[in-house]
Structure 1
Amino acid sequence: MRISTRRWAAVGTAALLAPLALAACSSSGGDSGGGDGDADTKTLTIWHYENDESAMGQAWAKAIEIFEEENPDVTVEVEKQTFEQIQKNAKIVLTGDDVPDVMEYNKGNATAGQLASQGLLTPLTDAAKEKGWDTALSGSIATTAQYDEDGLMGSGEWYGVPNYGEFVGVYLNKDMFAQYGIEVPTTFDDFEAALATFKENGVTPLAEAGAEYPLGQLWYELVLHYGDRALVDDYQLFANDVDWHGEAMTQATEKLDEWVKNGYIASDSAGLTAEDMGVSFIDGTYPIMVSGSWWFGRLQSEIQFDWAQTLFPENTLHPGSSGNLWVVPTNADSKSLAEEFIDITLRPEVQDVLGQAGGLPVAGDPSTITDPKTAELTQNFADILGDDGLAYYPDWPVAGFYDVIVSQLQSLVNQSKSPDEVLTGLEDAYVSGKQDLLGE
């Protein structure tokens, strides 16, 4: 196996202006294309951007080891990119011939969906059926793998395969809960009672950050608390128009406003970053942090107190999604080998490496994980998958919506806008962005 780190040079004007002639090359029937899928049966080139020490890096190394054992005549070449390199340059680079056979890529309408709609990715629908990916990765975990002819996720051909996941939950400082005689909440009422008790004792309960994603994810947890899967499908997949002033959106936004007024969220949090929030939870300033599984490794290594990670009380839907996708470029030389490698990454022995290292396997067994906190996190994710409970992220539906959510919710924390005004601001941006995306 050859491993290299590749830096993409600036792309010349001619390449930038080259037409995307491949847009018409995508097979509509899910065929891998290229005859048997392999113009080169002696080399498998893999691009990914995971550190060797990360859970994903360790799992992919195990998958490569298995692939090499089963294909001793094939040379595996691993080229390390960065997330930013692939994100910025994939559209241009994949129009050429010097492409990987399999590549890690970001999911969503504006990323994998865009490349798929332009004919730059190989449809994997036949492989998904043949190898059982469509049953192993069903429901909400498979949504980010499928894209229609316009590049909208959730239906159409399989263009990628996720191997791990992520979700938003609740991190608790159990020492602070014990200090004030508060039980770890298992219901939403208990959660609100805990917030009130902390505040009565002079402790602001929620670590928050209004200048970046965390506050939007807390708001979305509340939307999901009052909403249902139909609302998620309307909001994320455009199944129907969203009622922005309906019961779920209104209750969620009013509840967040109530928590701000009650002092459960610090008044200065509108200007704080996610890093500020995380550090304040790690140093014991706040007893509760609602945020993503991506914090787990850092909390595990830095926290000095007794802590736990739970799901948002009584929610059956949670912010989260699959992780990044394995995709096969249309111009890849070794498509069948790429599909074989992808299949290996879903095997139990690879998924278990992912889980043991603190990742979130999509096809693993939580009972094999020995570290109690890692097992707790993995079981929480398994419970979400068991309930088909991934609801993606609030900023996903339309371009630029992230900044709008941040701005509108900052206004709520600053009390410069009412919940109704915030919802109107969100609605205006969402509807406009949806019209642009769908060409309406």
Structure 2
Amino acid sequence: MKKSALTILSLILMMSMFLAACGGGNNGGNNNTGATNTPSATPSESTEPSKAPDPVDLRVFSTFGGTDAAREAFQKALDDFTAANPHVKIENDVMSANDDGFRTKVNTDMTSGNEPDLLFYFVGADANEIISSGKVVALDEELAADPEWKNGFAPAALEFTKHTDGKTYAIPLTGFFEGLMVNKKIFADNGIELPTDWEKFKAAVSALKAKGIIPLSGPFDQSHYLIEHFVLAAAGAEGQKKGLKDGVDPNWEKGLAAMKEVYDLGAFPEDAATIDLGMAANYYSEGLAAMILEGSWAIGGFSDDVKANTTVLPFPAIPGGAGTGKDVVGGFGTGFYMSKAAYDDAAKKDATIALLKHLTSPEVIKNIATANGGTPAAAGVQPEGLAQAVLDGFAMVSEATSVNSPIDSKVTPETFNTIRANIQPVVTGKKTPAEALAEAKEIETAAK
């Protein structure tokens, strides 16, 4: 399969993780300069003492809270900024991205005059409303005005977060990969082959179920990662990329049908209909499940034993579809947005931009990436002390035939929610994949 330019950019970025010299150590932060005091013209003249900056209150809304692996690193970045800028007070407003209320809160805040000064949020379809409504500003001019800051980013990272209009609204921090996380010890102890192709995957599901081990931990309601991987494994990169724009690709139906096939083999937890993503991750972290489809951010939350025994594999291609078996989900799916309200506020603008530059400086990016195992958006930055599972994930991406943003960045939130709501009916046989996707297509069409 011929790799796309985006894939090549992503691979270059991953190669830099292993091979780049420390050339990205430039401080991409502020270039704030104060006026210098020049000698008086006459002994009788005196310079006036510089006036302390007026106090500024800023609000940052992000997902770096609760059990997020980078919570402490992000808080430290905010504390470092306020220590250097004591006139700035920051409200660190956080909410888990796995909470279904996260998107609702963002959209409500952004449309009710309660927008945060800096918003850490998704790129792609999720951002359409806040961008089209003019609630956030394009930052291309700010990047162009500060070449040191702009050149501190990996080009692929900035390219990935560009909006469909070609403008940069979101400044990336770290990227991610998603994949099939496998507890190698459980497989070895039970004499089961690793699931490197579809037949081995099905055989593993059957064997694990027979031994009382949850084969694949995943919820039906918050089925984000199940949908992404089963569809990509069947539709391939081009089919997944189209979303539902040109109708329903038959290979999407194959993906959902394959989900039902492994459900019938006993793949999922018995309470998959009621658990959420957090509980699904707990099953894997506690060694009760042998596999999970998750993102790089989840690895830091696994127990030490499970983390040490985890590897990351691409989800196997589904027979009869267009997947290669090396198509992966990843890239840079989030970034910092600056609200137009802050940009237009003379009292806040400079402090907000300074904070944005600080939070996306190479040093902070390195600290966040080290904490959450993400791909640094900064050029030449290599996180330290990463678990082998994270390195396995990086290797998976470097060998991928395509690197794809998630499905929920290609369809409207309402469309994706419709697909999610239909996963349980599909796997239990109450709806066919065709019926479920037809409903989603209707929602997508109505939203256009």
> Normalization by structure 1: what TM-score?
0.69
Q: 1:243 matched to which residue of 2?
A: 248
Q: 1:88 matched to which residue of 2?
A: 108
Evaluate the alpha carbon distance shift between residue 377 and residue 361 of structure 1 in structure 2; reply closer, same or farther with a 3 A threshold. Answer: same
Evaluate the alpha carbon distance shift between residue 398 and residue 113 of structure 1 in structure 2; reply closer, same or farther with a 3 A threshold. Answer: closer
Q: Which runs of 5+ in 2 are unaligned?
A: 1-51, 96-101, 317-324
Evaluate the alpha carbon distance shift between residue 300 and residue 145 of structure 1 in structure 2; reply closer, same or farther with a 3 A threshold. Answer: farther
Evaluate the alpha carbon distance shift between residue 113 and residue 355 of structure 1 in structure 2; reply closer, same or farther with a 3 A threshold. Answer: same
Q: 1:169 matched to which residue of 2?
A: 179
- Equivalent in 432, 439, 444 of residue 434 of structure 1: 444
Evaluate the alpha carbon distance shift between residue 388 and residue 316 of structure 1 in structure 2; reply closer, same or farther with a 3 A threshold. Answer: closer
> Is structure 2 residue 208 aligned with structure 1 residue 198?
yes
DSSP 3-state at the match of 1:318: strand
> Is structure 2 residue 87 aligned with structure 1 residue 75?
yes
> Is structure 2 residue 235 aligned with structure 1 residue 227?
yes
CA distance in 2, matches of 1:303, 1:380: 20
Shift of 1:143: 4.7
Q: In the TM superposition, what are the counterparts of 1:297-312 in structure 2 within 5 Å? A: 297-300=300-303, 303=306, 306-312=309-315
CA distance in 2, matches of 1:300, 1:87: 35
CA distance in 2, matches of 1:366, 1:388: 23
- Equivalent in 60, 75, 88 of residue 47 of structure 1: 60
Q: 2:414 matched to which residue of 1?
A: 400
Q: Percent identity?
A: 16
Matched to 1:423, the amino acid is A
Evaluate the alpha carbon distance shift between residue 276 and residue 328 of structure 1 in structure 2; reply closer, same or farther with a 3 A threshold. Answer: closer
CA distance in 1, matches of 2:270, 2:80: 52
Evaluate the alpha carbon distance shift between residue 78 and residue 381 of structure 1 in structure 2; reply closer, same or farther with a 3 A threshold. Answer: farther
Q: 2:367 matched to which residue of 1?
A: 353
> Is structure 2 residue 268 aligned with structure 1 residue 258?
no
Shift of 1:91: 2.2
Evaluate the alpha carbon distance shift between residue 375 and residue 402 of structure 1 in structure 2; reply closer, same or farther with a 3 A threshold. Answer: closer
**8 Å contact 1:141–1:322 — kept in the other structure?**
no
Q: In the TM superposition, what are the counterparts of 1:26-425 in structure 2 within 5 Å? A: 45=58, 47-49=60-62, 50-51=64-65, 55=70, 57-59=72-74, 61-62=76-77, 65=80, 75-83=87-95, 86-93=106-113, 102-108=117-123, 112-129=127-144, 131=147, 133=150, 136=153, 142-146=159-163, 154-199=164-209, 201=211, 203-210=213-220, 212-214=221-223, 216-235=224-243, 238=245, 241-244=246-249, 246=250, 248-266=251-269, 268-300=271-303, 303=306, 306-313=309-316, 314-318=325-329, 321-330=332-341, 331-333=344-346, 334-335=348-349, 338-363=352-377, 367-373=382-388, 375-376=390-391, 379=394, 383=398, 389-394=403-408, 397-417=411-431, 421-425=432-436
* Higher RCO (CA 8 Å, separation ≥ 6 residues): 2
DSSP 3-state at the match of 2:226: helix
DSSP 3-state at the match of 2:119: strand
**8 Å contact 2:285–2:303 — kept in the other structure?**
no
**8 Å contact 1:160–1:325 — kept in the other structure?**
yes
Q: Which runs of 5+ in 1 are unaligned?
A: 1-39, 147-153
CA RMSD of aligned residues (A): 3.9
Shift of 1:103: 0.5
Q: 1:4 matched to which residue of 2?
A: none
Shift of 1:177: 1.0
DSSP 3-state at the match of 1:249: helix
CA distance in 1, matches of 2:357, 2:307: 40
Q: Deviations over 1:266-319 (max 9, x none)?
A: 565334433442333233332111223343232146859833344435332316
Evaluate the alpha carbon distance shift between residue 233 and residue 129 of structure 1 in structure 2; reply closer, same or farther with a 3 A threshold. Answer: farther
Evaluate the alpha carbon distance shift between residue 320 and residue 263 of structure 1 in structure 2; reply closer, same or farther with a 3 A threshold. Answer: farther
**8 Å contact 2:60–2:93 — kept in the other structure?**
yes
Matched to 2:112, the amino acid is I
Shift of 1:42: 6.3
Shift of 1:353: 0.7
How many residue pairs get matched? 372
DSSP 3-state at the match of 1:326: strand
Evaluate the alpha carbon distance shift between residue 378 and residue 396 of structure 1 in structure 2; reply closer, same or farther with a 3 A threshold. Answer: same
> Normalization by structure 2: what TM-score?
0.68
Matched to 1:398, the amino acid is T
